[in-house]
Amino acid sequence: MQNQYTLTSTGRIKKIIRHPFAGFVLIGVILISLQLIAILSGGAWPKSSMLNGFASVMIYAIVGYGFTYLLGYAGLASLGTAGFVGLGAYITAYVLRNMPGVPYIAVILGTLLISLILGTIVGFISLRIEGIFLAIVTLGLCEIFYQLFSNWLDFTNGPNGASISKYPIFQTFFNMSRRDAQSAFYILLVFITVGLMMLTYNLGKSSTGRAMLAMKNSSSAAQAMGISLLKYRLLAFLLSTAYAGLGGVMFMSYLRYSAPQNYTIMFSLNILAAVLIGGSRNLIGTFLGCFIVFGMTPIFLQDITLFRENPWIINVTIGAIIVMVVMVYPGGLVQLANNVKSFFKTTIADRRLYKYGTDD
Amino acid sequence: MSIQDILQTIVNSLPTIGRYSLITIGIVLIFRTTATTNFAQGLIATFGTFLTTWAALTYTALPLWLCLAMGMTASFLLGMFVDVALIRRARHITPSGKQMITMGVLMILVNVIPVLFRDITLWTRPGKSFSTAILTFNFFGYTLNITEMGLLCFVTAVVVLGAVFAALKFTKWGLGVRATAANESVAQMLGVNTRVITAFSWALAGGIAALGGFFTGAGTALNVTLMGNAQIYGFLACVLGGFGSFPAPILGAVIIPLVNNFAGNPNLFGPNAGMWQNMITFIVILLLILIFPNGLLGKKYIKKV
């Protein structure tokens, strides 16, 4: 007789498929295999512009995961994201250009530390100001960062933009060629993205995530239940700024160029759109949202003449999708997928009922 | 810094005060009636400005005020359309959801306007350019200068705001707006047609903002981010003054240009002041908001579970 605790092979596979991390790992495997195909085929397909597109989707997704804490869990809409990403990027550029001796991991940690210090200040502002006004105040914050990036010439090189000449670690430490370093960094980026997905998922399911959710639904009720608003709002902010700072480091390290024009209010709006479209608490949804908002143009649409000549079409569509998602479909793409799934399930069940009848 | 200098800086702020208060009154009208912070306000104004320019350049025989009226009508209708088509149907959605809807509208407009008005980049009108005359007047023995356009802008803003406040106070529509602002469902129960009230508030906000856009764009190069700064400052003025009442945000709209112009004064902060003036302004505003989170004239609402 079979022990009920040992699983059959199909049961084992089912268990793996249903594991919450399966989707994350699948995305990672797909992204890495694209790079491997490119290496094996000598760059014939996927083209390097396409891979760069996927890399930037990953970078924006990292920022987006930070934003899910704010929008999805804590229910705060902040528009200061662009500033923190820019800060991360510019600190990285400055350190890598002017202090070549500093190890890359120290750059990452230093950037995170500075982001966290600034995030604490912004977090305290957020505690003083209620929901919708926060977006307005952080809009001002975003402008402060933009002015800083445009005018502090010694630090950011102003409107000309800052650039670094080599990929960090792989080109500076391992002495790889430029092409190899780019591939290696891409794979590193995949690992970071998937790792952060897992981390974000676990944090969201932990007591921290639950407390934030309670706070989102009703701050007064959450307070009455003994949840400290100060602690969790601040935590949401700190997490979001840390992710944004890391996104900035990756932005600079992979794309190796950034200008103040990158970090305008449109960047923050795009991140918000991406998180919203995907479904504000679902990480795979956020990834798909980033893919739709940031990745469609470099990956596919560049090759289509209509979209290359009229880049506004895709942006208008994104704007329309935001309106649609908020008004008609608050769950985003994930809700759409679930609805399709449940539609098939009910159809199959109905068909079975029709074919075989009920039990008696 | 002499008294002459201080007075001149204040006078220099007058046109900006006019422009920002024209935007701000629209934002606060919309917020009070539909609980929406309208991020598309600046773009609705920009649409009107572009239409005014287009009319002025295409039909050179028309007088300028008629072109302006066309632009204002366009913004009026666009504002009404946004309310009727989107915000009215989103009444059950949370305020931050409505905010995101207006962000979506912003994304649509910011990409559509440059396509619609592809050839219009500069506010010029052959033979009928704007007056650049500088008026000099005497104020208790100090001679002060202001441009003619700037004075016109300030006076227009004062007249328009006066008319709006008078309408809010004395007309039936104003009573309806105040009732809707206090409590929409109760107002509806008492026979106020809140749909008409909100639609007209959105429309009026759009029309007045287009007037602000006209004064911002007059004589300069037009682009789609024309009203970007005015929009951000208008919002901050609302938070700074307090969203709770109609006149309080105008106080914010008066303070912000003053801070901005004093921060950018080369006699006060050295020759590089112009570079950092916006940043200093934002920091001052944020600090003020941090000290007065409900606005300078606002009051705190206590929410019950």
The angle formed by the CA atoms of residues A115, A120 and A124, to the nearest 5 degrees, is 145
Mean pLDDT of A85-100: 90
Which class for B58: exposed (0-12), middle (13-18), buried (19 or more C-beta within 10 A)? exposed
Q: Are A271 and A63 spatial neighbours (Cβ–Cβ below 8 Å)?
A: yes
Q: Does A259 touch chain B (CB under 8 A)?
A: no
Angle at A60 between CA A55 and CA A65, to 5 degrees: 125
CB contact under 8 A, A143 and B282: yes
In A, minimum Cα distance to B302 occurs at A220
Taking the CA of residue A266 and the nearest CA in chain B, the distance in Å comes to: 8
pLDDT computed for residue B246 by the predictor:
86
> Comparing C-alpha atoms, which of B33, B12, B36, B260 is closest to residue B154?
B12
Closest-CA distance, A261 to chain B, in angstroms, reads 13
- Report yes or no: A128 at the B interface, CB cutoff 8 Å: yes
From its phi and psi, is residue B127 left (phi > 0), alpha (psi between -120 and 50) or beta? left
pLDDT digits (tens, 9 = 90+) for B9-46: 888 899 999 999 999 999 999 998 888 888 899 999 99
Confidence of residue A54 (pLDDT cuts 50, 70, 90): very high
Residue-level pLDDT at B156: 92
Give B144's strand partners: B137
Average pLDDT over residues B171-195: 89
Partner-chain contact B282 A224, CB within 8 Å: no
Q: Is A173 helix (H, G, I), strand (E, B) or coil?
A: coil
Q: Residue by residue, what is the 3-state secondary structure of B73-115?
A: HHHHHHHHHHHHHHHHHHCCCCHHHHHHHHHHHHHHHHHHHHH
B111 neighbourhood in chain A, CB within 8 Å: 312, 315-316, 319
Residue of A nearest to B285 (CA): A140
Which of A211-215, A285-289, A306-310, B175-179 has the lowest average pLDDT? Answer: A306-310
Whether the CA torsion A312, A313, A318, A319 is positive or negative: it is: positive
pLDDT at B128: 56
Joined together, the tokens standing for residue B243 give 């969203």
From residue A224, how far is each of A206, A215, A221, A227 by CA, in Å? 20, 10, 5, 7
Confidence category of residue B257, pLDDT binned at 50, 70, 90: very high
The three-state secondary structure class of B210 is helix
Q: Which of residues 191-250 of B touch A (CB under 8 A)?
A: 228, 232, 235-236, 238-239, 243
In B, which residues are within 8 Å of A219 by CB distance? 303
pLDDT of A232 higher than 70: yes
pLDDT > 80? residue B130: no
**Interchain CB distance below 8 Å, A132 and B99:** yes
Residue B129 is predicted with a pLDDT of 59
pLDDT at B183 over 90: no
Average pLDDT over residues B170-189: 90
Q: For residues B22 and B206, is the Cβ–Cβ distance under 8 A?
A: no
* Interface residue A319 vs chain B (CB under 8 A): yes
Tell me if A67 sits within 8 A of A239, measured CB to CB.
no
Q: Which chain B positions have a beta carbon within 8 Å of A294's beta carbon?
A: none
**Cβ–Cβ contact B114 with A under 8 A:** yes
Q: Is B82 on the interface with A (CB under 8 A)?
A: no
pLDDT at A176 over 90: no
For chain B, the average pLDDT equals: 86
Over its C-alpha atoms, chain A yields an Rg (Å, rounded) of: 22
pLDDT at A103: 87
Neighboring chain A residues of B86 at a CB cutoff of 8 Å: 323, 327
What are the residue boundaries of the structural domains of chain B, listed by start?
3-226
Q: Residue A129: list chain B partners with CB under 8 A.
A: 239, 289, 293
pLDDT value, residue A84 = 93
* Per-residue pLDDT at A59: 95
Residue A281: DSSP 8-state: T
